[in-house]
Structure 1
Amino acid sequence: MVPVPVDIAAQLLSRRSSNDPETLGVLLAGLRRSLAHEAIDDELYDDLEAVLGEHAHPAPYDIAVIAGRFREATTTLVEIVPHLVSPYPIDEIRRLIHVSAEHPRPEGAHGHLRRFALAVLALLDLMGDDGS
């Protein structure tokens, strides 16, 4: 955070603001995009590539680590999707929460991780440009 001198802060606060629907719509879109960028980072996309990519075959240790990061992403996605997707994607959210709650045996971990990645990707696709 950069400190703002008092005189500049006073000048900025004294400016008139616009509250017309067009300006507020642009502001809302910018805030939603900012929210998505804070929640969805390159690491999430790297994890999706590691699981769903053409040459994907994560090692058992990587499966556990990626599943943990997907669980963290689930919490974030459940919080931000209502602000970014309309109508609310009930089926996709349910699927993501359900897969997130699963803890499969080691022999089923790879398939579970693929289902988990697909559930995350489905929500990212619904978010469209706001999620990139």
Structure 2
Amino acid sequence: MSTDDATVGALLSGLRRFLASEAIDDQLWDDLDAVLGEFAPPPSREIPAITARFRTAATRLVEVVPRLVRPYPLRPMRHLIFLSTEHPRPENAQGHLNRFAMGILMVLELMRDDAL
């Protein structure tokens, strides 16, 4: 078994990508695109399902970010946790979904160099 710095670095990089993949999947990217992309906003009937998936993604990010991002991004993570606990009225759901998507993107951007 090799213990040189290059091997250890490659192993750590692989482990970080694996942890990130546990939190970030194709469905998350599809949902972010549906909320913020070219054909946004999604139909109102899809908002509850996307919000639920965002909550699941936020929970996963809360679990993996401390292992992947140094220093720990306290403000963006607090913001994401706050957004994941909000339950807005139906007339405010689209705005909440947009803020939630932006909060997730902010955390993903912080992870980009370290994990993705």
Q: Is it true that 1:64 corresponds to 2:48 in the alignment?
A: yes
How many angstroms apart in 2 are the aligned matches of 1:22 and 1:58?
A: 45
Which runs of no fewer than 5 residues in structure 2 stay unpaired?
A: none
CA deviation digits over 1:27-77, x for unaligned, max 9? Answer: 111111111123211110000000001220212221100000000001100
Q: Which runs of 5+ in 1 are unaligned?
A: 1-16
Partner Cα distance (1:107, 1:20) in 2:
57
1:31 aligns with 2:15: yes
Which stretch shifts more, 42-51 or 120-129?
120-129
RMSD across aligned C-alpha pairs, in angstroms?
1.2
Q: In 2, Cα distance between the equivalents of 1:25 and 1:51?
A: 36
Q: Measure, in 1, the Cα distance between the counterparts of 2:19 and 2:102.
A: 22
State how many pairs are aligned.
115
Residue 83, structure 1, aligned to residue 44, structure 2? no
Where has structure 1 moved over 6 Å in runs of 4 or more? none
Shift of 1:105: 0.2
Among 100, 112, 115, the residue aligned to 1:128: 112
* Aligned mates of 2:43, 2:13 — CA distance in 1: 39
Which AA in structure 2 matches 1:103?
H
Distance 1:38 1:104 in 2: 28
Q: Which has the higher contact order (CA 8 A, sep 6+)?
A: 2
Bigger radius of gyration: 1
**Distance in 2 between the 1:57 and 1:92 partners?**
24
Give how far 1:116 is off. 0.3
Q: With structure 1 as the length reference, what TM-score do the two structures score?
A: 0.82
Does structure 1 residue 101 correspond to structure 2 residue 85?
A: yes
Distance 1:38 1:103 in 2: 25
